[in-house]
């Protein structure tokens, strides 16, 4: 039985215990714990008979540990999830839909609701959003005579030769199998007007004119010598990355972590954030993080009360200010206006998508990524790579009975 929205029972006292599992969204442990301590203190001022226990879990093995906890009947009352985890756990019977007040749901940004909804039901209460955008070296672009950062694929192609003449690759594009397609191929697919899955989820849809256009764009970047070939099979991070070493002038998708890293390495004056690329449409990737109620815990009135307290705009503003993420509720407005880089990324939340929510999203990435790599390396044509990936992915979906 779903818990009623707290606002419908605002005068009812709640009591009990709430166990919450969260992960290191805020990198500094002391700062992270301090945020939760403050939220709990404020919550207890209104709800003194509720004990809230926050367990900051490690990222590693989180799916397996949560699944085991559900199977053993020891699941927490609230757990932090991202979009591609939702359908997996719904299919396992680990989650049930949650209920939030109508005015709260109406206040969430469309992308936040997209990342929290599966098969028409809401499974998480979003607490953060992200958005990625092109990150580039302003000095290298200026030295190549490029005064305005490209906004379309054609403009990007036109800028590449001038950088190449200066001995600089235009692009750092991660084609290693350890990279996620959410920040490499998928944004290009969406920008071309394509999608990963068919509307009914029973097959994939990337083997399309739009999918081919996106892959051909990537292949051409490498073929013409505009993309650094070191990233085809190696995962390069930190000071080893082509951009960090100034061998490449940009990457198509980077978030606040990349901006901060490059600011520290180069100085803020060299770091540029560009608008997400436009082809058929302008769109970029951004995740959504939220809290779900595991099965059999959604009748816990204390957990419902704490969840609704947590997602109040002032609490989310504090959380996202500290973490460097962005607010999922429209009423929060801009929370990073004092930071020119974060405020620019924050403005792209409106065109960010968490991707297509599907139970086999991660498995399809594992199928498609090596085929894209093969097309870049020239062992397959782009047409053959997409066709082979389509066949394998559709077989996988059929075996799962979707």
Tens digit of each residue's pLDDT (9 = 90 or more) over 316-331: 999 999 999 999 999 9
In the predicted model, is pLDDT for residue 202 greater than 70? yes
DSSP structure class, residue 299: T
**Per-residue pLDDT reduced to its tens digit, 223-265:** 999 999 999 987 777 888 999 999 999 999 999 889 999 999 9
**Contact status, residue 287 vs residue 114, Cβ threshold 8 Å:** no
pLDDT at 7: 47
Mean pLDDT, residues 370-386: 97
| Residue 300 pLDDT | 87
Start-end of CATH 3.40.190.10 domains in the chain: 6-131+286-353, 133-285+360-399
Reading the block at residue 372, the tokens are 């894209």
Q: What is the pLDDT of residues 67-94, one digit of tens each?
A: 999 999 999 999 999 999 999 999 999 9
pLDDT of residue 142: 97
Q: Which helix (DSSP H) or strand (DSSP E) does residue 129 occupy?
A: strand 125-129
What is the CATH superfamily name and number for domain 6-131+286-353? Periplasmic binding protein-like II (3.40.190.10)
Could you give phi then psi for residue 284, rounded to 5 degrees? -145, 175
Statement: residue 215 has pLDDT above 90: yes
Tell me the average pLDDT across 341-364.
94
Residues comprising the chain, all counted: 402
Distant-in-sequence, close-in-space partners of 395: CB < 8 Å, separation ≥ 6 = none
Mean pLDDT of all residues belonging to the chain: 93
Here the contacts of 395-400 (C-beta below 8 Å, separation 24 or greater) are 396/360, 396/363, 396/364, 396/367, 397/201, 397/202, 397/203, 397/204, 397/360, 400/359, 400/360
Q: Is the pLDDT of residue 200 over 60?
A: yes
Q: How far apart are CA 198 and CA 195, in angstroms?
A: 7
Predicted local distance difference test score (pLDDT) of residue 401 = 83
- In this prediction, residue 141 carries a pLDDT of 97
- Domain 133-285+360-399: CATH class, spelled out: alpha beta
Q: Is the dihedral of CA 147, 230, 188, 325 positive or negative?
A: negative
Q: Which pLDDT belongs to residue 3?
A: 43
Question: Each residue of 25-48: pLDDT tens digit?
Answer: 998 999 999 999 999 999 999 999
Q: Which pLDDT score is estimated for 226?
A: 98
Nearest to 93 by CA among 70, 76, 61: 70
pLDDT band at 1 (very low <50, low <70, confident <90, very high): very low
If one compares 235 and 4, the residue with the highest pLDDT of the two is: 235
Q: Is the pLDDT of residue 297 over 90?
A: no
pLDDT for the residue 345: 95
pLDDT band at 9 (very low <50, low <70, confident <90, very high): very low
pLDDT for res 82: 96
Measured in degrees and rounded to the nearest 5, phi and psi for residue 10 equal -60, -25
Helices in 178-300 by DSSP H: which ranges?
185-191, 209-223, 256-266
pLDDT of 5 above 80: no
Chain segment 158-189, per-residue pLDDT in tens: 999 999 999 999 999 998 888 889 999 999 99
């Amino acid at each position: 039985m779903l818990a009623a929205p707290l606002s419908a029972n605002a005068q009812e006292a709640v009591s009990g215990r709430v166990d919450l599992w969260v992960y290191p969204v805020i990198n500094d442990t002391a700062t992270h714990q301090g945020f939760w301590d403050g939220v709990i203190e404020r919550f207890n001022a209104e709800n003194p008979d509720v004990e809230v226990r926050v367990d900051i879990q490690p990222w590693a093995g989180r799916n397996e540990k949560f699944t085991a906890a559900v199977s053993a009947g020891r699941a927490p009352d609230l757990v932090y999830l991202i979009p591609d985890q939702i359908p997996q756990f719904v299919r396992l019977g680990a989650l049930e839909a949650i209920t939030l007040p109508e005015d709260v749901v109406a206040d969430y940004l469309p992308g936040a609701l997209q990342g929290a909804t599966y098969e028409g039901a809401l499974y998480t209460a979003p607490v953060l959003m992200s958005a990625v955008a092109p990150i580039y070296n302003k000095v290298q672009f200026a030295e190549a005579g490029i005064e305005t950062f490209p906004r379309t694929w054609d403009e990007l192609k036109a800028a590449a030769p001038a950088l190449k003449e200066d001995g600089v690759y235009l692009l750092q594009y991660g084609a290693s199998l350890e990279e996620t397609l959410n920040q490499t191929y998928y944004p290009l697919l969406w920008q071309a007007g394509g999608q990963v899955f068919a509307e009914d989820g029973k097959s994939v849809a990337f083997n399309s004119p739009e999918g081919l256009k996106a892959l051909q764009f990537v292949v051409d970047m490498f073929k013409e010598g505009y993309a650094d070939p070191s990233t085809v099979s190696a995962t390069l991070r930190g000071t080893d990355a082509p951009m960090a070493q100034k061998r490449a002038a940009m990457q198509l998708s980077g978030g606040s972590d990349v901006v901060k890293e490059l600011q520290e390495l180069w100085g803020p004056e060299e770091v540029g954030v560009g608008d997400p690329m436009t082809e058929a449409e302008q769109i970029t990737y951004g995740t959504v993080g939220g809290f779900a109620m595991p099965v059999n815990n959604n009748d816990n009135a204390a957990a419902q009360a704490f969840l609704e307290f947590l997602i109040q705009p002032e609490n989310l503003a504090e959380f996202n200010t500290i973490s460097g993420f962005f607010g999922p509720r429209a009423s929060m407005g801009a929370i990073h206006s004092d930071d020119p880089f974060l405020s620019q990324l924050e403005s792209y939340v409106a065109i960010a998508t968490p991707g297509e929510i599907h139970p086999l999203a991660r498995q399809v990435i594992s199928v498609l990524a090596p085929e894209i790599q093969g097309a870049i390396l020239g062992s397959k044509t782009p047409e053959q790579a997409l066709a082979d990936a389509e066949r394998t992915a559709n077989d996988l979906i059929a075996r799962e009975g979707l």
